[in-house]
Amino acid sequence: ALNLANNRIENKGAEYLSKANFPLLTLLNLENNSIEDAGADCFAKTNLCMLTTLNLRKNNIGPLERKIFQNNARLKVLF
């Protein structure tokens, strides 16, 4: 697990994290980081193959972006 809650990650940080090499990471907590749709979209296409839970609570994710994650059976996203 990697807990980065309350760290002002924002969209650019989310993009970097989605491309990072964390082969065994299963839970990523990004709660309250001012991430918007563009940042969340990076995780819809992520290479983090073991990631099963992504916490995006208290961010600025819109309803259309949330729908994209509903179709991902492997990844549980918390909004």
The answer, yes or no, to whether residue 25 has pLDDT greater than 80, is yes
For residue 49, the Cα-to-chain-centroid distance in whole angstroms is 13
Looking at CATH, the fold of the domain delimited by 2-78 is given as 3.80.10
pTM (2 d.p.): 0.92
Q: How confident is the model at residue 73 (pLDDT cuts 50, 70, 90)?
A: confident
Domain ranges within the chain, ordered by starting residue: 2-78
Give the CA angle between residues 62, 23, 3 to the nearest 5°: 50
Residue 77 phi/psi, 5° resolution? Answer: -110, 130
Residues 6+ apart with CB under 8 A from 25: 1, 2, 48, 50, 51
**What six digits make up the tokens of 12?**
């650019």
Is pLDDT of 45 > 90? no
Confidence at residue 46, expressed as pLDDT on a 0 to 100 scale: 81
Whether 2 shows a pLDDT value over 90: the answer reads yes
